[in-house]
Amino acid sequence: MFWVVSCHISYALIIVILKPLYFIYSFNYDYHHEELCNLESRQLFGVEMNHKVVSSEVKMDPSISPFIRNRLDVCVADADYDLFLDKIKYLGITLHDFVVEYLVIEGDVANKATRRARQKDVGYCIYGRPDFKNPLITYAICYLNESWCFGILHKEDITWHRHRQKPHSFSNSIGTIIAKTLVSVASQGHTAVKLLDACCGVGTVMLEACIAGFRIAGCDINPRAYHHALQNLKFYDYEAELYHSDIKDLTQTYDTAIIDLPYNLYSLTTDNIATHIITSAAARASRLVVVSIADIEPVITAAGLRVVDYATVVKRGKSLFTRKIWVCEPQ
């Protein structure tokens, strides 16, 4: 259940590495992103959220997602509160500068005073001095599925928010939240995958892939978009292959291609253009994640692909502007 790995600090602190039994992920999102968030949850964990939470044996860095706020690595769980505390004590965690947080899961009715008391109870099961301001380690408890859970808490890293200030954007750019979700859905969290942004525009999706440590290449037929993508990548010091090219002329292969299909006055989409881009991308990658405002499912199936997952995203306050996202694999 756990290993004692070292005991060499002057005041004989015992650092205990706890082996998690499973992981609890807590999500948050604006109402109009619920479908998008569930798409991501299905692709990362194979299940949808329940009360904005997923319990899973799959270990994922919370920062891969724009919606995951925390990951709790559960190493003690029990329905009986006293037994729960005994089990934590039994771990013998001996450590200074820790803090215990209370994760409020939707449906947990404990009031603030009760939550504080529970935090204190658990704090007293850890041998050492807490540090509430600058903790070295954050533990957390939560009440989920009629069980008390305890473990190490890992919080999201929001550094990616800085991409909202990228030097170049344009009216057709996709939002950073959707772009980040496209990367997590395309990669399914596997950091070794090679991604392609087939119609990269100013590189919004590429920035999210780069910050999350994925290898991604991008391509755009439009010289202005290509140069803006180049400058955006440079601005954040990211390295990625970028091609000023028609997608049909790429020669390398990739695991998954993300395609944010062109639309509106500046880049009019017809079925022919969609067919051209989708069939060209399918020749470079076996898995596609396609975004369009038009229903291009017939184009996808005509290209020899089957849709394995799907979601729509409504633009906040603009219910008529709906993006559709298809996750496609070979038939």
- Choose between 100 and 186: whose C-beta lies nearer to ligand SAM: 186
- Choose between 125 and 206: whose C-beta lies nearer to ligand SAM: 206
- Choose between 142 and 290: whose C-beta lies nearer to ligand SAM: 290
- Choose between 104 and 221: whose C-beta lies nearer to ligand SAM: 221
Residue 39 has, within 13 A of its CA and on its CB side, a CA count of: 26
- Choose between 116 and 161: whose C-beta lies nearer to ligand SAM: 161
**Closest distance of CB 262 from ligand SAM, Å:** 4
**Closest distance of CB 267 from ligand SAM, Å:** 5
Contacts with ligand SAM in 172-191 (CB under 6 A)? 172-174
Q: Which stretch binds ligand SAM (CB under 6 A): 22-30, 145-153, 260-268, 296-304?
A: 260-268
Buried b (16+ CB within 10 A) or exposed e, 187-223: bbbeeebbbbbbbbbbbbbbbbbbbbebbbbbbbbbe
Out of 142, 247, 300, 325, point to the residue binding ligand SAM (CB under 6 A). Answer: 247
Q: Which stretch binds ligand SAM (CB under 6 A): 17-25, 95-103, 221-229, 295-303?
A: 221-229
Question: Distance (Å, rounded) from C-alpha 215 to C-alpha 202?
Answer: 17
Q: Across the chain, which distance is largest between two alpha carbons, in Å? A: 72
> Which residue in the shown chain puts its C-beta closest to ligand SAM?
201
Q: Which residue has the tokens 């140069």?
A: 227
Contacts with ligand SAM in 79-108 (CB under 6 A)? none
Task: By CB under 6 A, tell whether 130 contacts ligand SAM.
Answer: no
**Closest distance of CB 290 from ligand SAM, Å:** 12
Task: By CB under 6 A, tell whether 232 contacts ligand SAM.
Answer: no
Task: By CB under 6 A, tell whether 293 contacts ligand SAM.
Answer: no
**Closest distance of CB 302 from ligand SAM, Å:** 17
**Closest distance of CB 175 from ligand SAM, Å:** 8
Report which of 47, 45, 71 is spatially closest to residue 58, judged by C-alpha positions: 45
**Closest distance of CB 78 from ligand SAM, Å:** 47
Task: By CB under 6 A, tell whether 283 contacts ligand SAM.
Answer: no
Contacts with ligand SAM in 190-219 (CB under 6 A)? 199-202, 204-205, 219
Contact between 78 and 147 (Cβ < 8 Å): yes
Query: Residues interacting with ligand SAM, by CB under 6 A?
Result: 172-174, 199-202, 204-205, 219-222, 225, 246-247, 260, 262-263, 267, 277
